[in-house]
Chains A and B, each alone.
Chain A
Amino acid sequence: AQSVTQLGSHVSVSEGALVLLRCNYSSSVPPYLFWYVQYPNQGLQLLLKYTTGATLVKGINGFEAEFKKSETSFHLTKPSAHMSDAAEYFCAVTFTGGGNKLTFGTGTQLKVEL
């Protein structure tokens, strides 16, 4: 069975500072990993995904994540936070043969302060 742990339900950063949102996964088979963002009263928007190949993945809005198999991690980073990045972020996992059943983490609420 797959699972995802997101450390820190709330993260606060200053505008222009580094954003680091942590995600660790557990999977007995090679995982597919995703980061989604959710703005208030909206659905989820895909930021980036890792399936196979390059372990450093670049996504939209300047976000990137690195798949580290040895650490079972897929942390999300952005060099410089913007006010518009304030939202809730979800890490999710599935695997080949798992269809489209995503297992989500509990989410991290990102606050960006002036």
Chain B
Amino acid sequence: AQKITQTQPGMFVQEKEAVTLDCTYDTSDQSYGLFWYKQPSSGEMIFLIYQGSYDEQNATEGRYSLNFQKARKSANLVISASQLGDSAMYFCAMREKYSGNTGKLIFGQGTTLQVKP
């Protein structure tokens, strides 16, 4: 069964420093997609970054980058130059195989990030 694991329930980082949030996944499919979402205290789900299993380069979106290590089945989120507004819950998620055509997302347990001034 497909599974996403986030082993860090909570993380602290000093403002302006970089932080890595861990995500490992388990799937037997060759085609899959990996997502990171941010959930601030207001509750909405904000899409951050996406990595396809066949993408050769790591995805980047502004201060966010995804450290994709396919052989290790890890998809860690790196936030550079942390800001106070980055304090939130972060979820890693995986899309079921494309051929299944349901588009279901499977989520990890989440990591709470607190940025210290």
Chain B associates with chain A: no
Which residues of A are interface residues toward B (Cβ below 8 A)?
A: none
